């Protein structure tokens, strides 16, 4: 499995009244990472429209280990796993700059067409992420 990585800095707008990153922001971080992983292999959002194939999250499992605060640098690692005919999963880790595990997650996706009908995961998406 190929491991993808991206780095971002925690922004002040992501901090809640308790002084740390709000739990809802972590899903945004995973989306930012997934978009960057797609760019790394040459996939754009336009490719989904052109192929009438859209990955949608059907399940999200997040485990929080440590908190983040403003200006923390984080690395988000992700691997695409459990490829099925019409679905796949992605495992993530969010790490602080010094390597401390902050969060682990698994998101499960189904591939659907514009009308919401479940379809086969197209090769333009599967091949770049399922290769070593």
**Mean pLDDT estimate for the chain:** 96
Domain assignment present for residue 98? The answer is yes
Q: pLDDT tens-digit profile of 64-104?
A: 999 999 999 999 999 999 999 999 999 999 999 889 999 99
Q: pLDDT tens-digit profile of 44-54?
A: 999 999 999 99
Q: Which of 51, 45, 33 is nearest to 121 (CA)?
A: 51
The dihedrals phi and psi of 43, each to the nearest 5 degrees, come to: -100, 135
Q: pLDDT tens-digit profile of 114-126?
A: 999 999 999 999 9
Domain assignment present for residue 131? The answer is no
| Domain of 95, in residue numbers | 4-125
Domain assignment present for residue 130? The answer is no
Domain assignment present for residue 34? The answer is yes
The CATH number linked to 93 is 3.10.129.10
Mean pLDDT of 104-131: 95
Domain assignment present for residue 132? The answer is no
CA distance 96 to 102: 7
Q: What is the pTM of this model?
A: 0.93
| 1: pLDDT strictly greater than 90 | no
Per the structure, the count of domains in the chain is 1
CA distance 120 to 62: 26
Q: What is the residue-wise DSSP string for 92-119?
A: EEEEETT--EEEEEEEEEEEE-TTS-B-
Query: What's the pLDDT score for residue 131?
Result: 76
Q: 85 pairs with which residues across the strands? A: none
């Amino acid at each position: 499995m190929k491991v993808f990585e991206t780095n971002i800095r925690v922004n002040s707008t992501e901090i809640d009244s308790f002084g740390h990153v709000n739990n809802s922001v972590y899903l945004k971080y995973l989306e930012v990472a997934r978009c960057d992983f797609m760019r790394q292999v040459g996939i754009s959002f336009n490719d989904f429209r052109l192929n009438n194939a859209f990955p949608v999250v059907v399940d999200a499992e997040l485990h929080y280990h440590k908190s983040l605060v403003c200006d923390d640098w984080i690395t988000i690692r992700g691997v695409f796993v459990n490829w099925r005919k019409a679905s796949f999963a992605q495992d993530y880790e969010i790490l602080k700059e010094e390597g401390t595990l902050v969060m682990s997650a698994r998101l499960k996706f189904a591939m659907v067409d514009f009308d919401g009908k479940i379809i086969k995961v197209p090769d333009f998406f599967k091949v770049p992420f399922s290769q070593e």
